[in-house]
Structure 1
Amino acid sequence: MIDRETEAVNLHRSPTIRRRRLGVELRRHREEAGVTIDVVADRLGCSTSKVSRIETGHTSASPSDVQNILDIYGVGPAITAELVQIAREARQKGWWHPYSTVLTGAYVGLETAARSIWSYEQQLVPGLLQSEEYAIALIRGARRDFTDQEIEQRVRVRMERQALLIQDDPIDLRVVLDEAVLSRPVGGDAVMRGQLQKLIEAARLPNVTLQILPFAVGAHAAMDGTFVILEFEEEGDADVVFIDNATGGLFLEKTEELRKYTSIFDTLRAAALTAGESLEWIEMLVEEPLWKSKRRVSG
Protein backbone atom coordinates (compact mmCIF):
# COMPACT_ATOMS: atom_id res chain seq x y z
CA MET A 1 0.00 0.00 0.00
CA ILE A 2 1.19 3.53 -0.79
CA ASP A 3 2.47 5.73 2.04
CA ARG A 4 -0.06 8.53 1.61
CA GLU A 5 1.87 11.02 3.76
CA THR A 6 4.92 10.59 1.55
CA GLU A 7 2.73 10.74 -1.53
CA ALA A 8 1.19 14.02 -0.42
CA VAL A 9 4.63 15.56 0.13
CA ASN A 10 5.75 14.44 -3.34
CA LEU A 11 2.50 15.34 -5.07
CA HIS A 12 3.87 18.18 -7.16
CA ARG A 13 7.03 16.20 -7.99
CA SER A 14 5.28 13.69 -10.21
CA PRO A 15 7.97 12.28 -12.55
CA THR A 16 5.64 12.93 -15.49
CA ILE A 17 5.29 16.62 -14.75
CA ARG A 18 9.00 16.96 -13.91
CA ARG A 19 9.91 15.39 -17.27
CA ARG A 20 7.53 17.77 -18.99
CA ARG A 21 8.98 20.79 -17.16
CA LEU A 22 12.53 19.71 -17.96
CA GLY A 23 11.71 19.44 -21.66
CA VAL A 24 10.24 22.93 -21.75
CA GLU A 25 13.31 24.40 -20.06
CA LEU A 26 15.78 22.56 -22.30
CA ARG A 27 13.97 23.73 -25.41
CA ARG A 28 13.90 27.33 -24.15
CA HIS A 29 17.64 27.34 -23.45
CA ARG A 30 18.38 25.77 -26.84
CA GLU A 31 16.37 28.41 -28.66
CA GLU A 32 18.00 31.20 -26.64
CA ALA A 33 21.42 29.80 -27.56
CA GLY A 34 20.46 29.58 -31.23
CA VAL A 35 21.37 25.89 -31.43
CA THR A 36 19.52 23.42 -33.65
CA ILE A 37 18.36 19.96 -32.64
CA ASP A 38 20.71 18.51 -35.26
CA VAL A 39 23.71 20.09 -33.54
CA VAL A 40 22.63 18.76 -30.11
CA ALA A 41 22.11 15.25 -31.49
CA ASP A 42 25.50 15.31 -33.18
CA ARG A 43 27.28 16.46 -30.00
CA LEU A 44 25.50 13.84 -27.88
CA GLY A 45 25.92 11.08 -30.45
CA CYS A 46 22.20 10.33 -30.55
CA SER A 47 19.27 10.73 -32.94
CA THR A 48 17.42 14.00 -33.47
CA SER A 49 14.20 12.20 -32.51
CA LYS A 50 15.63 11.48 -29.04
CA VAL A 51 16.41 15.16 -28.49
CA SER A 52 12.95 16.11 -29.75
CA ARG A 53 11.26 13.60 -27.44
CA ILE A 54 13.24 14.90 -24.47
CA GLU A 55 12.06 18.42 -25.24
CA THR A 56 8.43 17.34 -25.52
CA GLY A 57 8.61 15.37 -22.27
CA HIS A 58 8.00 12.01 -23.91
CA THR A 59 11.42 10.60 -23.01
CA SER A 60 13.47 10.86 -19.83
CA ALA A 61 16.91 12.45 -20.02
CA SER A 62 19.70 11.22 -17.80
CA PRO A 63 21.34 13.77 -15.51
CA SER A 64 24.56 13.42 -17.53
CA ASP A 65 22.70 14.11 -20.79
CA VAL A 66 21.16 17.22 -19.27
CA GLN A 67 24.59 18.37 -18.05
CA ASN A 68 26.07 17.87 -21.54
CA ILE A 69 23.15 19.57 -23.26
CA LEU A 70 23.34 22.63 -21.03
CA ASP A 71 27.13 22.80 -21.55
CA ILE A 72 26.41 23.08 -25.28
CA TYR A 73 24.08 26.02 -24.59
CA GLY A 74 26.52 27.74 -22.25
CA VAL A 75 24.09 27.70 -19.31
CA GLY A 76 25.50 28.76 -15.93
CA PRO A 77 26.16 26.34 -13.04
CA ALA A 78 23.21 27.38 -10.84
CA ILE A 79 20.56 26.76 -13.51
CA THR A 80 22.38 23.63 -14.65
CA ALA A 81 22.36 22.19 -11.13
CA GLU A 82 18.62 22.87 -10.82
CA LEU A 83 17.77 21.19 -14.13
CA VAL A 84 20.04 18.23 -13.43
CA GLN A 85 18.14 17.72 -10.16
CA ILE A 86 14.83 17.85 -12.04
CA ALA A 87 16.23 15.20 -14.40
CA ARG A 88 16.93 12.96 -11.40
CA GLU A 89 13.39 13.45 -10.08
CA ALA A 90 11.92 12.81 -13.54
CA ARG A 91 13.55 9.38 -13.63
CA GLN A 92 11.99 8.25 -10.35
CA LYS A 93 9.04 5.86 -10.42
CA GLY A 94 5.55 7.20 -9.77
CA TRP A 95 3.20 5.28 -7.45
CA TRP A 96 1.38 4.02 -10.57
CA HIS A 97 4.52 2.41 -12.06
CA PRO A 98 3.64 -1.16 -10.91
CA TYR A 99 0.48 -0.85 -13.04
CA SER A 100 2.23 0.42 -16.18
CA THR A 101 1.26 -2.72 -18.09
CA VAL A 102 -2.41 -1.70 -17.99
CA LEU A 103 -1.96 2.07 -18.36
CA THR A 104 -1.52 3.98 -21.59
CA GLY A 105 -0.26 7.51 -21.98
CA ALA A 106 0.80 10.04 -19.34
CA TYR A 107 -2.59 11.00 -17.91
CA VAL A 108 -2.24 9.52 -14.42
CA GLY A 109 1.14 11.21 -13.92
CA LEU A 110 -0.27 14.59 -14.95
CA GLU A 111 -3.38 14.11 -12.82
CA THR A 112 -1.21 13.38 -9.78
CA ALA A 113 0.52 16.74 -10.16
CA ALA A 114 -2.57 18.83 -10.97
CA ARG A 115 -3.82 21.64 -8.75
CA SER A 116 -7.34 21.45 -10.16
CA ILE A 117 -9.25 19.27 -12.61
CA TRP A 118 -12.30 20.29 -14.63
CA SER A 119 -14.14 17.42 -16.26
CA TYR A 120 -17.16 17.04 -18.54
CA GLU A 121 -18.54 13.53 -19.08
CA GLN A 122 -21.33 12.39 -21.39
CA GLN A 123 -21.51 8.63 -20.82
CA LEU A 124 -19.82 7.59 -17.58
CA VAL A 125 -18.82 8.66 -14.11
CA PRO A 126 -15.21 10.01 -14.08
CA GLY A 127 -12.63 7.66 -12.59
CA LEU A 128 -12.03 9.89 -9.57
CA LEU A 129 -15.68 9.46 -8.56
CA GLN A 130 -16.32 5.82 -9.46
CA SER A 131 -17.24 3.15 -6.92
CA GLU A 132 -15.23 -0.05 -7.13
CA GLU A 133 -18.24 -2.10 -8.29
CA TYR A 134 -19.12 0.47 -10.96
CA ALA A 135 -15.51 0.52 -12.21
CA ILE A 136 -15.42 -3.27 -12.49
CA ALA A 137 -18.71 -3.38 -14.41
CA LEU A 138 -17.66 -0.49 -16.66
CA ILE A 139 -14.29 -1.95 -17.63
CA ARG A 140 -15.69 -5.44 -18.06
CA GLY A 141 -18.41 -4.12 -20.36
CA ALA A 142 -16.15 -1.86 -22.42
CA ARG A 143 -13.10 -4.15 -22.74
CA ARG A 144 -14.21 -7.70 -23.36
CA ASP A 145 -10.63 -8.65 -24.25
CA PHE A 146 -9.29 -7.90 -20.75
CA THR A 147 -8.46 -10.71 -18.35
CA ASP A 148 -9.73 -10.66 -14.78
CA GLN A 149 -6.22 -9.70 -13.64
CA GLU A 150 -6.07 -6.73 -16.03
CA ILE A 151 -9.47 -5.55 -14.84
CA GLU A 152 -8.40 -5.90 -11.20
CA GLN A 153 -5.23 -3.86 -11.83
CA ARG A 154 -7.09 -1.09 -13.63
CA VAL A 155 -9.66 -0.86 -10.86
CA ARG A 156 -6.92 -0.77 -8.24
CA VAL A 157 -5.25 2.17 -10.00
CA ARG A 158 -8.61 3.94 -10.23
CA MET A 159 -9.24 3.53 -6.51
CA GLU A 160 -5.71 4.70 -5.62
CA ARG A 161 -6.19 7.83 -7.74
CA GLN A 162 -9.14 8.87 -5.59
CA ALA A 163 -6.79 9.66 -2.69
CA LEU A 164 -6.22 12.97 -4.51
CA LEU A 165 -9.64 14.09 -3.25
CA ILE A 166 -9.09 13.44 0.45
CA GLN A 167 -5.38 13.96 1.10
CA ASP A 168 -4.13 16.85 3.25
CA ASP A 169 -3.80 19.12 0.20
CA PRO A 170 -6.64 17.85 -2.01
CA ILE A 171 -7.12 18.81 -5.62
CA ASP A 172 -9.99 21.07 -6.64
CA LEU A 173 -12.35 18.93 -8.75
CA ARG A 174 -15.16 20.40 -10.82
CA VAL A 175 -17.33 17.98 -12.77
CA VAL A 176 -20.27 18.42 -15.11
CA LEU A 177 -22.13 15.17 -15.78
CA ASP A 178 -24.62 14.76 -18.58
CA GLU A 179 -27.96 13.35 -17.44
CA ALA A 180 -27.18 10.30 -19.60
CA VAL A 181 -24.55 9.25 -17.05
CA LEU A 182 -27.24 8.95 -14.38
CA SER A 183 -29.67 7.20 -16.73
CA ARG A 184 -27.46 4.23 -17.61
CA PRO A 185 -27.45 1.53 -14.89
CA VAL A 186 -23.88 0.30 -15.33
CA GLY A 187 -23.57 -3.01 -13.48
CA GLY A 188 -27.30 -3.20 -12.81
CA ASP A 189 -29.63 -1.61 -10.28
CA ALA A 190 -27.71 -2.28 -7.06
CA VAL A 191 -24.32 -1.26 -8.45
CA MET A 192 -25.70 1.95 -9.94
CA ARG A 193 -27.51 2.91 -6.74
CA GLY A 194 -24.21 2.41 -4.92
CA GLN A 195 -22.55 4.65 -7.48
CA LEU A 196 -25.11 7.36 -6.92
CA GLN A 197 -24.36 7.18 -3.18
CA LYS A 198 -20.68 7.56 -4.00
CA LEU A 199 -21.47 10.70 -6.02
CA ILE A 200 -23.44 12.10 -3.09
CA GLU A 201 -20.51 11.54 -0.72
CA ALA A 202 -18.06 13.15 -3.16
CA ALA A 203 -20.35 16.13 -3.84
CA ARG A 204 -20.35 16.93 -0.12
CA LEU A 205 -16.55 17.32 -0.06
CA PRO A 206 -15.54 21.00 0.12
CA ASN A 207 -13.09 20.62 -2.77
CA VAL A 208 -15.56 18.92 -5.15
CA THR A 209 -18.19 20.69 -7.25
CA LEU A 210 -20.58 18.36 -9.09
CA GLN A 211 -23.22 19.63 -11.51
CA ILE A 212 -25.72 17.79 -13.70
CA LEU A 213 -26.49 18.90 -17.25
CA PRO A 214 -30.14 17.92 -17.89
CA PHE A 215 -31.46 16.63 -21.22
CA ALA A 216 -33.81 19.62 -21.20
CA VAL A 217 -30.86 21.90 -22.00
CA GLY A 218 -30.89 20.48 -25.54
CA ALA A 219 -27.89 21.20 -27.76
CA HIS A 220 -24.95 22.60 -25.80
CA ALA A 221 -21.34 23.74 -26.15
CA ALA A 222 -19.78 20.29 -25.61
CA MET A 223 -21.79 18.24 -28.07
CA ASP A 224 -18.50 17.20 -29.71
CA GLY A 225 -17.49 15.08 -26.73
CA THR A 226 -16.00 14.79 -23.27
CA PHE A 227 -12.79 16.39 -22.03
CA VAL A 228 -10.70 17.11 -18.95
CA ILE A 229 -8.77 20.30 -18.19
CA LEU A 230 -5.80 19.91 -15.85
CA GLU A 231 -4.36 23.01 -14.18
CA PHE A 232 -0.98 23.02 -12.44
CA GLU A 233 0.35 24.97 -9.48
CA GLU A 234 3.73 26.10 -10.72
CA GLU A 235 3.97 28.75 -13.41
CA GLY A 236 6.39 26.70 -15.51
CA ASP A 237 3.92 23.81 -15.84
CA ALA A 238 1.51 24.61 -18.67
CA ASP A 239 -2.11 23.56 -18.26
CA VAL A 240 -3.40 20.84 -20.56
CA VAL A 241 -6.65 19.52 -22.04
CA PHE A 242 -7.06 15.74 -22.21
CA ILE A 243 -9.51 14.07 -24.60
CA ASP A 244 -9.89 10.37 -23.85
CA ASN A 245 -10.22 7.62 -26.43
CA ALA A 246 -9.75 3.86 -26.77
CA THR A 247 -6.06 4.16 -27.71
CA GLY A 248 -4.93 6.32 -24.81
CA GLY A 249 -6.17 9.84 -25.44
CA LEU A 250 -5.03 13.16 -26.87
CA PHE A 251 -3.34 16.05 -25.06
CA LEU A 252 -3.88 19.65 -26.17
CA GLU A 253 -1.53 22.32 -24.84
CA LYS A 254 -1.77 25.33 -27.16
CA THR A 255 -3.03 28.53 -25.58
CA GLU A 256 -5.94 28.88 -27.98
CA GLU A 257 -7.00 25.26 -27.34
CA LEU A 258 -6.94 25.77 -23.58
CA ARG A 259 -8.90 29.00 -23.94
CA LYS A 260 -11.53 27.29 -26.11
CA TYR A 261 -12.11 24.39 -23.72
CA THR A 262 -12.12 26.63 -20.67
CA SER A 263 -14.83 28.72 -22.35
CA ILE A 264 -16.81 25.57 -23.18
CA PHE A 265 -16.60 24.38 -19.58
CA ASP A 266 -17.73 27.76 -18.24
CA THR A 267 -20.70 27.63 -20.63
CA LEU A 268 -21.60 24.11 -19.47
CA ARG A 269 -21.48 25.09 -15.81
CA ALA A 270 -23.77 28.04 -16.48
CA ALA A 271 -26.27 25.79 -18.30
CA ALA A 272 -26.17 22.95 -15.74
CA LEU A 273 -28.07 22.67 -12.48
CA THR A 274 -26.34 24.30 -9.53
CA ALA A 275 -24.28 22.10 -7.21
CA GLY A 276 -27.08 22.18 -4.62
CA GLU A 277 -29.78 21.31 -7.15
CA SER A 278 -27.62 18.54 -8.57
CA LEU A 279 -27.04 16.99 -5.15
CA GLU A 280 -30.78 17.03 -4.40
CA TRP A 281 -31.52 15.39 -7.74
CA ILE A 282 -28.99 12.60 -7.21
CA GLU A 283 -30.40 11.96 -3.73
CA MET A 284 -33.85 11.63 -5.29
CA LEU A 285 -32.52 9.26 -7.97
CA VAL A 286 -31.26 6.83 -5.35
CA GLU A 287 -34.90 6.29 -4.41
CA GLU A 288 -36.43 6.74 -7.88
CA PRO A 289 -33.77 5.94 -10.48
CA LEU A 290 -34.20 7.11 -14.07
CA TRP A 291 -33.64 3.61 -15.49
CA LYS A 292 -36.65 2.39 -13.49
CA SER A 293 -39.04 5.16 -14.45
CA LYS A 294 -38.50 5.27 -18.21
CA ARG A 295 -40.04 2.88 -20.67
CA ARG A 296 -37.54 0.42 -22.15
CA VAL A 297 -37.00 0.55 -25.91
CA SER A 298 -36.73 -2.83 -27.55
CA GLY A 299 -35.14 -3.62 -30.91
Structure 2
Amino acid sequence: MAGKRTVLTVGLRRLAAMLLEMREDAQLGKEEVSSRTGINITTLYRIETAQARPQRRTLMAMLDLYDVDDKQREEAVELLSTALKPGMARAYEGSVSEVYAAYINFESEALSARHYQTSTVPGLLQTYEYANAVIDTSMPKLEAAMMESRAKARMDRAVNLTKEEPLELWVVMDEAAIRRVVGGPVTMRGQLERLLQEIKRKNVILQILPFDAGAHPGMAGAFTLLDFPNPADPELVYLEGLAGDELIEGHTEIRRFGVIFDQLRAMALSPRDSAAMIAAAAAELAEIGD
Protein backbone atom coordinates (compact mmCIF):
# COMPACT_ATOMS: atom_id res chain seq x y z
CA MET A 1 0.00 0.00 0.00
CA ALA A 2 1.35 3.41 -1.01
CA GLY A 3 0.36 4.96 2.33
CA LYS A 4 2.56 2.50 4.25
CA ARG A 5 5.74 3.10 2.30
CA THR A 6 8.79 4.47 4.04
CA VAL A 7 9.71 7.32 1.74
CA LEU A 8 13.29 8.46 2.02
CA THR A 9 14.08 11.85 3.57
CA VAL A 10 17.33 13.64 4.37
CA GLY A 11 16.91 12.93 8.09
CA LEU A 12 16.23 9.23 7.58
CA ARG A 13 19.25 8.83 5.32
CA ARG A 14 21.51 10.55 7.85
CA LEU A 15 20.16 8.42 10.71
CA ALA A 16 20.76 5.23 8.73
CA ALA A 17 24.35 6.24 7.98
CA MET A 18 24.92 7.13 11.64
CA LEU A 19 23.60 3.78 12.93
CA LEU A 20 25.72 1.85 10.46
CA GLU A 21 28.80 3.79 11.54
CA MET A 22 28.00 3.22 15.23
CA ARG A 23 27.68 -0.55 14.72
CA GLU A 24 30.95 -0.69 12.81
CA ASP A 25 32.71 1.42 15.46
CA ALA A 26 31.44 -1.04 18.07
CA GLN A 27 32.88 -3.85 15.91
CA LEU A 28 29.63 -5.77 15.94
CA GLY A 29 28.23 -7.89 13.13
CA LYS A 30 24.55 -7.88 12.23
CA GLU A 31 24.12 -11.39 13.63
CA GLU A 32 25.50 -10.38 17.04
CA VAL A 33 23.34 -7.25 17.16
CA SER A 34 20.31 -9.37 16.31
CA SER A 35 21.04 -11.98 18.98
CA ARG A 36 21.71 -9.38 21.69
CA THR A 37 18.78 -7.04 20.94
CA GLY A 38 16.20 -9.29 19.33
CA ILE A 39 16.12 -7.08 16.22
CA ASN A 40 15.55 -9.16 13.10
CA ILE A 41 18.58 -9.14 10.77
CA THR A 42 16.41 -8.11 7.83
CA THR A 43 14.97 -5.24 9.87
CA LEU A 44 18.47 -4.18 10.87
CA TYR A 45 19.55 -4.17 7.22
CA ARG A 46 16.53 -2.09 6.24
CA ILE A 47 17.22 0.41 9.02
CA GLU A 48 20.88 0.78 8.04
CA THR A 49 19.98 1.29 4.38
CA ALA A 50 17.23 3.85 5.15
CA GLN A 51 14.50 1.55 3.86
CA ALA A 52 12.73 1.58 7.23
CA ARG A 53 12.42 3.93 10.19
CA PRO A 54 13.36 2.30 13.50
CA GLN A 55 10.81 2.41 16.28
CA ARG A 56 11.99 4.40 19.28
CA ARG A 57 12.47 1.30 21.44
CA THR A 58 14.47 -0.32 18.63
CA LEU A 59 16.67 2.73 18.33
CA MET A 60 17.27 2.85 22.07
CA ALA A 61 18.21 -0.84 22.12
CA MET A 62 20.77 -0.22 19.36
CA LEU A 63 22.22 2.84 21.09
CA ASP A 64 22.52 0.96 24.39
CA LEU A 65 24.33 -1.92 22.71
CA TYR A 66 26.70 0.38 20.83
CA ASP A 67 27.51 2.20 24.10
CA VAL A 68 27.44 5.66 22.50
CA ASP A 69 27.99 8.87 24.43
CA ASP A 70 25.20 11.27 25.39
CA LYS A 71 25.87 13.61 22.48
CA GLN A 72 25.58 10.82 19.90
CA ARG A 73 22.46 9.50 21.60
CA GLU A 74 20.77 12.90 21.55
CA GLU A 75 21.66 13.41 17.90
CA ALA A 76 20.27 10.00 16.93
CA VAL A 77 17.02 10.58 18.82
CA GLU A 78 16.66 14.02 17.22
CA LEU A 79 17.23 12.52 13.79
CA LEU A 80 14.54 9.92 14.44
CA SER A 81 12.16 12.72 15.38
CA THR A 82 13.05 14.53 12.14
CA ALA A 83 12.68 11.34 10.11
CA LEU A 84 9.18 10.79 11.49
CA LYS A 85 7.99 14.13 10.16
CA PRO A 86 6.19 13.91 6.80
CA GLY A 87 8.30 15.21 3.94
CA MET A 88 7.10 17.52 1.19
CA ALA A 89 6.06 14.50 -0.88
CA ARG A 90 3.60 13.18 1.72
CA ALA A 91 0.56 14.57 -0.08
CA TYR A 92 1.53 12.84 -3.33
CA GLU A 93 2.87 9.48 -2.14
CA GLY A 94 -0.12 7.62 -3.56
CA SER A 95 0.26 9.09 -7.03
CA VAL A 96 4.02 9.14 -7.63
CA SER A 97 6.71 6.49 -7.51
CA GLU A 98 8.62 5.89 -4.29
CA VAL A 99 11.82 7.18 -5.90
CA TYR A 100 10.17 10.35 -7.18
CA ALA A 101 8.57 10.95 -3.77
CA ALA A 102 12.01 10.63 -2.17
CA TYR A 103 13.40 13.05 -4.74
CA ILE A 104 10.71 15.62 -3.91
CA ASN A 105 11.72 15.36 -0.24
CA PHE A 106 15.40 15.71 -1.01
CA GLU A 107 14.87 18.63 -3.39
CA SER A 108 12.95 20.52 -0.69
CA GLU A 109 15.98 20.34 1.64
CA ALA A 110 18.75 20.73 -0.92
CA LEU A 111 21.08 23.70 -1.14
CA SER A 112 21.45 23.51 -4.91
CA ALA A 113 20.39 21.51 -7.94
CA ARG A 114 22.24 21.10 -11.22
CA HIS A 115 19.77 19.82 -13.76
CA TYR A 116 20.14 18.62 -17.35
CA GLN A 117 16.96 18.06 -19.33
CA THR A 118 16.52 16.64 -22.79
CA SER A 119 13.14 17.07 -24.49
CA THR A 120 10.94 18.82 -21.91
CA VAL A 121 11.15 21.77 -19.54
CA PRO A 122 12.23 20.67 -16.02
CA GLY A 123 9.28 20.01 -13.72
CA LEU A 124 10.37 22.71 -11.28
CA LEU A 125 9.86 25.35 -14.01
CA GLN A 126 6.72 24.02 -15.69
CA THR A 127 3.40 25.82 -15.92
CA TYR A 128 0.31 23.89 -14.86
CA GLU A 129 -0.98 23.66 -18.44
CA TYR A 130 2.36 22.44 -19.77
CA ALA A 131 2.69 19.89 -16.95
CA ASN A 132 -0.77 18.52 -17.69
CA ALA A 133 0.05 18.19 -21.38
CA VAL A 134 3.32 16.36 -20.66
CA ILE A 135 1.71 13.96 -18.17
CA ASP A 136 -1.30 13.33 -20.43
CA THR A 137 0.98 12.45 -23.34
CA SER A 138 3.53 10.36 -21.46
CA MET A 139 0.93 8.54 -19.32
CA PRO A 140 -2.24 8.42 -21.47
CA LYS A 141 -4.01 5.82 -19.32
CA LEU A 142 -3.55 7.68 -16.06
CA GLU A 143 -6.75 8.46 -14.16
CA ALA A 144 -7.80 12.11 -14.08
CA ALA A 145 -7.37 12.38 -10.29
CA MET A 146 -3.89 10.88 -10.48
CA MET A 147 -2.93 13.24 -13.29
CA GLU A 148 -4.17 16.20 -11.28
CA SER A 149 -2.12 15.10 -8.26
CA ARG A 150 1.05 14.70 -10.32
CA ALA A 151 0.63 18.10 -11.94
CA LYS A 152 -0.02 19.70 -8.54
CA ALA A 153 3.15 18.10 -7.18
CA ARG A 154 5.14 19.87 -9.87
CA MET A 155 3.48 23.19 -9.11
CA ASP A 156 4.02 22.87 -5.36
CA ARG A 157 7.71 22.08 -5.85
CA ALA A 158 8.18 25.58 -7.28
CA VAL A 159 8.06 26.95 -3.71
CA ASN A 160 11.66 25.74 -3.41
CA LEU A 161 12.68 28.64 -5.64
CA THR A 162 10.94 31.34 -3.60
CA LYS A 163 11.30 30.26 0.04
CA GLU A 164 13.44 32.18 2.53
CA GLU A 165 16.56 30.21 1.63
CA PRO A 166 15.76 29.30 -1.97
CA LEU A 167 17.15 26.41 -3.93
CA GLU A 168 20.02 27.46 -6.18
CA LEU A 169 19.02 26.05 -9.55
CA TRP A 170 21.28 25.68 -12.58
CA VAL A 171 19.59 24.19 -15.62
CA VAL A 172 21.09 23.11 -18.94
CA MET A 173 18.25 22.32 -21.32
CA ASP A 174 18.42 20.87 -24.81
CA GLU A 175 17.07 23.19 -27.51
CA ALA A 176 14.45 20.53 -28.26
CA ALA A 177 12.73 21.45 -24.99
CA ILE A 178 11.87 24.94 -26.26
CA ARG A 179 11.21 23.94 -29.88
CA ARG A 180 8.82 21.06 -29.25
CA VAL A 181 5.31 22.54 -29.06
CA VAL A 182 3.69 20.81 -26.08
CA GLY A 183 -0.03 21.34 -25.51
CA GLY A 184 -0.44 23.69 -28.47
CA PRO A 185 1.06 27.10 -29.29
CA VAL A 186 -0.72 29.01 -26.50
CA THR A 187 0.35 26.55 -23.79
CA MET A 188 3.88 26.41 -25.13
CA ARG A 189 4.15 30.18 -25.38
CA GLY A 190 2.97 30.47 -21.80
CA GLN A 191 5.65 28.01 -20.78
CA LEU A 192 8.39 29.92 -22.56
CA GLU A 193 7.22 33.18 -20.97
CA ARG A 194 7.35 31.45 -17.59
CA LEU A 195 10.97 30.52 -18.24
CA LEU A 196 11.79 34.13 -19.09
CA GLN A 197 10.31 35.19 -15.75
CA GLU A 198 12.06 32.49 -13.73
CA ILE A 199 15.53 33.30 -15.06
CA LYS A 200 15.22 36.81 -13.64
CA ARG A 201 15.66 35.25 -10.20
CA LYS A 202 19.16 35.51 -8.74
CA ASN A 203 19.04 31.84 -7.75
CA VAL A 204 18.15 30.52 -11.22
CA ILE A 205 20.56 30.05 -14.12
CA LEU A 206 19.31 28.56 -17.39
CA GLN A 207 21.35 27.66 -20.45
CA ILE A 208 20.19 26.19 -23.74
CA LEU A 209 22.27 23.51 -25.42
CA PRO A 210 21.75 24.33 -29.12
CA PHE A 211 21.25 21.76 -31.85
CA ASP A 212 24.42 22.91 -33.58
CA ALA A 213 26.48 21.89 -30.54
CA GLY A 214 26.34 18.40 -32.04
CA ALA A 215 26.89 15.24 -30.04
CA HIS A 216 27.27 15.77 -26.31
CA PRO A 217 27.70 13.73 -23.09
CA GLY A 218 24.09 14.26 -21.97
CA MET A 219 22.52 12.33 -24.83
CA ALA A 220 21.89 9.32 -22.56
CA GLY A 221 19.15 11.18 -20.67
CA ALA A 222 18.13 13.73 -18.06
CA PHE A 223 19.65 13.90 -14.59
CA THR A 224 19.79 16.13 -11.53
CA LEU A 225 22.60 16.57 -9.01
CA LEU A 226 21.53 17.68 -5.54
CA ASP A 227 23.81 18.87 -2.78
CA PHE A 228 22.86 19.84 0.75
CA PRO A 229 23.77 22.50 3.30
CA ASN A 230 24.92 19.95 5.89
CA PRO A 231 28.26 18.28 5.02
CA ALA A 232 26.94 15.10 6.68
CA ASP A 233 24.48 14.70 3.81
CA PRO A 234 26.30 13.48 0.68
CA GLU A 235 25.29 14.57 -2.80
CA LEU A 236 22.71 12.64 -4.78
CA VAL A 237 22.02 12.07 -8.45
CA TYR A 238 18.45 11.61 -9.66
CA LEU A 239 17.94 9.89 -13.00
CA GLU A 240 14.72 9.96 -15.01
CA GLY A 241 13.85 7.22 -17.48
CA LEU A 242 11.05 5.24 -19.10
CA ALA A 243 12.09 2.15 -17.19
CA GLY A 244 11.82 4.02 -13.89
CA ASP A 245 13.58 6.68 -11.85
CA GLU A 246 16.69 6.11 -9.77
CA LEU A 247 18.58 7.82 -6.95
CA ILE A 248 22.34 7.30 -7.01
CA GLU A 249 24.91 7.84 -4.27
CA GLY A 250 28.65 7.30 -4.19
CA HIS A 251 31.61 9.59 -4.78
CA THR A 252 32.63 8.02 -8.11
CA GLU A 253 29.17 8.26 -9.70
CA ILE A 254 28.55 11.76 -8.33
CA ARG A 255 31.88 12.95 -9.70
CA ARG A 256 31.11 11.43 -13.13
CA PHE A 257 27.81 13.28 -13.41
CA GLY A 258 29.42 16.46 -12.12
CA VAL A 259 31.99 16.28 -14.91
CA ILE A 260 29.24 15.65 -17.48
CA PHE A 261 27.28 18.67 -16.25
CA ASP A 262 30.36 20.87 -16.45
CA GLN A 263 30.90 19.74 -20.05
CA LEU A 264 27.27 20.44 -20.93
CA ARG A 265 27.25 23.95 -19.51
CA ALA A 266 30.51 24.69 -21.32
CA MET A 267 28.91 23.60 -24.62
CA ALA A 268 25.65 25.48 -23.98
CA LEU A 269 24.80 29.07 -24.86
CA SER A 270 25.42 31.74 -22.26
CA PRO A 271 22.45 32.62 -20.00
CA ARG A 272 21.98 35.87 -21.94
CA ASP A 273 22.01 34.16 -25.35
CA SER A 274 19.78 31.40 -23.99
CA ALA A 275 17.21 33.98 -22.88
CA ALA A 276 17.32 35.54 -26.35
CA MET A 277 16.66 32.16 -27.96
CA ILE A 278 13.70 31.49 -25.64
CA ALA A 279 12.26 34.96 -26.33
CA ALA A 280 12.59 34.40 -30.09
CA ALA A 281 10.84 31.03 -29.83
CA ALA A 282 8.01 32.62 -27.84
CA ALA A 283 7.66 35.38 -30.44
CA GLU A 284 7.40 32.79 -33.21
CA LEU A 285 4.57 31.02 -31.36
CA ALA A 286 2.76 34.33 -30.85
CA GLU A 287 2.59 34.70 -34.61
CA ILE A 288 1.11 31.21 -35.03
CA GLY A 289 -1.72 31.61 -32.54
CA ASP A 290 -3.61 28.55 -31.30
TM-score between the two structures when normalised by the length of structure 1? 0.89
Maintained 8 Å contact 1:183/1:289: no
In structure 2, C-alpha distance between the alignment counterparts of 1:213 and 1:127, rounded to whole Å:
18
Maintained 8 Å contact 2:8/2:50: no
Q: Which residue of 2 aligns with 1:5?
A: none
In structure 2, C-alpha distance between the alignment counterparts of 1:19 and 1:32, rounded to whole Å:
20
In structure 2, C-alpha distance between the alignment counterparts of 1:271 and 1:291, rounded to whole Å:
30
Q: Does 1:136 align with 2:132?
A: yes
1:193-208 to 2 correspondences below 5 Å: 193-208=189-204
For structure 1, the residue ranges without an aligned partner over 5 or more in a row are 1-13, 293-299
In structure 2, C-alpha distance between the alignment counterparts of 1:248 and 1:22, rounded to whole Å:
26
**RMSD across aligned C-alpha pairs, in angstroms?**
1.8
In structure 1, C-alpha distance between the alignment counterparts of 2:43 and 2:267, rounded to whole Å:
46
Q: Report the CA distance between 1:15 and its aligned residue.
A: 7.2
Q: Which residue of 1 aligns with 2:62?
A: 69
Call closer, same or farther: CA 1:196–1:112 in 2, change over 3 Å.
same
Q: Report the CA distance between 1:291 and its aligned residue.
A: 12
Give the partner amino acid of 1:83: A
1:125-164 to 2 correspondences below 5 Å: 125-164=121-160
Maintained 8 Å contact 1:53/1:59: yes
Q: Which residue of 2 aligns with 1:166?
A: 162
Give structure 1 regions of 4+ aligned residues with deviation exceeding 3 angstroms. Answer: 289-292
Total equivalences in the alignment: 279
Q: Which residue of 1 aligns with 2:272?
A: 276
Q: Report the CA distance between 1:49 and its aligned residue.
A: 2.3
Give the fraction of aligned pairs with identical amino acids, expressed as a percent: 35
For structure 2, the residue ranges without an aligned partner over 5 or more in a row are 1-6
Give the partner amino acid of 1:24: A
Q: Does 1:20 align with 2:13?
A: yes
Q: Report the CA distance between 1:39 and its aligned residue.
A: 2.1
Q: Which residue of 2 aligns with 1:91?
A: 84
**Which of 28, 33, 36 is 1:35 aligned to?**
28
Q: Deviations over 1:280-299 (max 9, x none)?
A: 1111111124997xxxxxxx
Give the partner amino acid of 2:170: R
Maintained 8 Å contact 2:110/2:227: yes
Q: Does 1:184 align with 2:180?
A: yes
Q: Report the CA distance between 1:167 and its aligned residue.
A: 1.1
**Which of 229, 236, 240 is 1:244 aligned to?**
240
**Which of 16, 38, 58 is 2:51 aligned to?**
58
Moved more, 130-139 or 86-95: 86-95
Q: Which residue of 2 aligns with 1:211?
A: 207
Moved more, 244-253 or 158-167: 244-253
